[in-house]
Chains A and B, each alone.
Chain A
Amino acid sequence: MIIHKAKGIWIDGKKTMSKTLPMHEYLNPPFVYIPLLQQASPLKRIVEIGDKVAIGQTVALREGFGAMPIHASVSGTVTAIKKVWHASGRMVEAIEIQNDFQNRMDESIHVQTDVSLLSRNDLVIKMQQAGLSGLGGAGFPTYIKYQAKCPIDVVIINAVECEPYLTCDYMLINSYPEKLLKGLSYFMRAADAKKGVVAFKAYNTHIKESLEPLLLNYPGIELYEVKDIYPAGWEKYIVQKITKKSYSGLPAEAGAIVDNSATAIVFADVVEKNIPLISRVITISGEGIKNPQNFYVPLGTLVKELILLAGGYIEGLDPTKAWYIAGGPMTGRAILIDDLIVNDTLGSVIVKPMPEELKHPACLGCGKCADVCPVYLTPTEIQRAFESKDTKAIKELNAQKCMQCGLCSYVCPSHIEIADYVARAKELLRKGA
């Protein structure tokens, strides 16, 4: 193999923008919309219009792979089944719940008294019952990872938060450092792992300062500092750095499980109070927002309300010359209508005026895209193979390994949408195969 060194580059994080204001708790929006879609699987609705629901009550079921219940995030009445804009870039059916502001809890939410008696299996069942999925952006059902057959040595909490602008994980950890370590220790019990690691980025000294004094109470948990480069938060990179092992499919092959820090904090509540996954932190930031900040909200809240709470758009923002990005700016998706709802995978909404469009020269062949690729692809070759629809060549060039970090487009001096070519080549491969 060609020497595997830490690839990636430093990118201006622009994180201070949303760090200056404290986290804003907005727990009672007038309406929430529970989307009937998780990852790519549609959900089965089990409530009807007019039903009264309580916080934590099951309103939909995910079936098949990753089967688990989905819960109401506020108490109130189901008033409609409506199509709403979803972070996937499509309109998705959703259950509209009108908040009655009474905060009625479902009876399943109660303080767990015998936490120390819970077995490994109990904890995994709790994950499933709570509808816990990865809050980092992929939304993979957490319990599936803990059902893996391979022996697990280490549970890694990914608090790297690589994407520029995003500070939701950072804010949450600083607010609940103890909960993070608790969640991690429960994860370790659920995986029967001896070791737990919290990986964070080098400049995030606050995380280190708030976690370090607490580590004494949690044997087996360590902190791990990763370099301030993008994409250092990539799962494979972190696992390779910590376990010194490489894998092709799931991290479990290297004896590791990786969870997002927000997932761990939610899991602490799941275990101790039986509160399912009903809320998350979302960063509202970007140059187009007046007061960028983080919000702690029930899932299903309208992003529109949050933007209003953040002071709205800056004056003179021309929406046709600005992006409304669901997710981080490197891997996110442009949403055309600002009518988005918060779902479990949506970590941020960035509103960013477009840079001035310049005329760019053709590809000069500098090869910077190939240099920077963390999985050693040559995007220009993949583009050539894609243009001639040569699926055999695309496969040979390992296009399926692309994890769409977007670095090739980022560094391209000629502003070519090279990452998009690779993504389309990947798509072609999937369809062709």
Chain B
Amino acid sequence: MARFANGKAPFLRKTDDLTYGTQVIMRDFLIGLIPLILFAWYKNGIKVYVEGNATLLEMFYPIIFIMLGGLISMVIEGLFFIITDKEVRTLKVMMKKLQLSYAMIPGILLAMILPLYTPIWVLIFGCIMATFVTKLLFGGFGYNIFNPALIGYVAIAFTLMGVINKAGGVLNGSEVLIDAIAGATPLSTLSTTNLLSYQTLVAPYGSLWNFFIGTIPGALAETSALACIISFVWLSARKVIKWFVPVIYIGTVFGLSWLIGIFNGQAGIWFPTFSILSGGLMFGAVFMATEPVTTPKNPLGKIVFALFLGVFTVLFRFIGQYPEGVATSIIFMNIFTMPIDKWTSVIRTQGVTKKTIIKIIILAILIIAIATYALIKANSIYSASIGLPLYIGGWN
């Protein structure tokens, strides 16, 4: 007679196979960032160097900057562990712990969405906001309510944007020399001129093709839609993210922007295309809106979440004070992750019944109402442009 171990069914786990598990998911996530980092290096480093507007060190600066973000986050989290956790006394234990809490990810993501010439101390401030305030104070990996990198970004954007602009802002060594670009991103042009016109929004940067490739001014690594799409395909194939979340999010923004364009005399497809290719929408949709910890867990919840993100992004982008609508809308929706998860998991399991119909109607009304409000508001802001001679065109 022998005594055997106790255990809980199922006695088979997918994690028994070491090619599966949270570690692997996070590794795949980091691999998914590579196309964007490489593109950022190409656009802000190699290309500028080749054109003769940067030194050799400056050529490597984009990569160094992103790695630095990850490193700073790890240092902050390591210090936190040394102070709070008595078990962490050796470097080996600490590295193990940092590995299990994926300390570098917020820092890397934050560095990727900041302008190239952000001073290092601003990056450190952002990393403290991201790692310490948003992640560690809420209980560490898996317990944060807000997306750490986005909180870091928003904290910087609302307080230190002036410092960044003084230090060089979003334009890299080559872009500064182009007169047509008035020191701004396409979206900030839109928010200052309130003009829906191809000439002011797209023409200075070449064509929409440049928007797609990503050779337009913008934050370090978020300008390229192409790189985002490559990452999207990789992450979806590896089942790190749900493919429908970015698709619904971007689709909603596309549709609503199209309507705004039509109502304001821009029937061309260029405007919604411009709308989804500019700013951090692609990046936010692929990497932030799908971030597992801070978004709903059940598939229906994810769909509802993405729809809300779409309408709020349009609302904030075309009506708000700030040019960028993606970061604020994702952070805003993070607050509602828990109630959305609660409601949608009931709706999902019970189906459409007398009990759930009210919840469904409320969710639908909310989405439609916000979208309608955004459309009406946008109408009153941009209708001034109707009187002007319009460029109604497409891709040329």
Contact = CB atoms under 8 A, between A and B. Distances in A.
B352 interface: yes
Contacts of A1: 351-352
Interface stretch (A37-45, A55-63, A371-379): A371-379
B10 A380 contact: no
B15 interface: yes
Contacts of B297: 365-367, 369-370, 378, 380-381
Interface in A227-280: none
Nearest to A368: B239
A29 interface: no
Contact of B1 (A325, A339, A360, A413): A339
A344 B90 CA distance: 55
B351 A362 contact: no
7 contacts: A320-B5, A334-B9, A336-B4, A355-B16, A397-B349, A398-B349, A413-B22
Query: Sorted from nearest, which 9 A-B pairs have the closest CB atoms?
Result: A362-B142, A378-B345, A406-B10, A367-B297, A324-B4, A370-B298, A319-B2, A1-B351, A329-B11
Interface string B146-185: 0000000000000000000000000000000000000000
B13 interface: yes
A197 B297 CA distance: 38
Contacts of A350: 11
A362 B142 CA distance: 6
Contact of B350 (A334, A368, A398): A398
A331 B352 contact: no
A332 B299 CA distance: 29
Contacts of A331: 9-10
B12 interface: yes
A363 interface: yes
Interface in A312-334: 319-325, 329-334
Contact of A360 (B8, B15, B300, B302): B15
Nearest to B99: A361
Interface of B: 1-16, 20-25, 96, 100-102, 140-143, 239, 242, 292-302, 341-342, 345-346, 348-352, 355
A354 B13 CA distance: 11
Contact of A366 (B5, B10, B292): B292
A409 B10 CA distance: 7
A371 B14 CA distance: 15
Given A2-B300, A364-B141, A370-B298, A415 B4 contact: no
Contacts, number: 176
A410 interface: yes
A428 interface: no
Interface residues of A, number: 64
Contacts of B11: 323, 325, 329-330, 332, 334, 350, 352
Given A361-B22, A415-B21, 11 more contacts: A319-B4, A330-B12, A336-B5, A336-B6, A364-B141, A364-B142, A365-B142, A370-B345, A378-B348, A398-B349, A419-B10
Contacts of A46: none
Most B CB within 10 A of own CB, among A367, A397, A398: A367
A367 to B, nearest CB: 4
A411 B349 contact: no
A222 interface: no
A414 interface: yes
A363 B144 CA distance: 11
B177 to A, nearest CB: 45
A375 B101 CA distance: 32
B3 A319 contact: yes
A411 B102 CA distance: 21
A50 to B, nearest CB: 28
A332 B9 CA distance: 6
A423 B165 CA distance: 56
A412 interface: yes
Most A CB within 10 A of own CB, among B102, B298, B301: B298
Contacts of A377: 345, 349
Contact of A362 (B143, B302, B346): B143
A65 to B, nearest CB: 26
A407 B10 CA distance: 8
B351 to A, nearest CB: 4
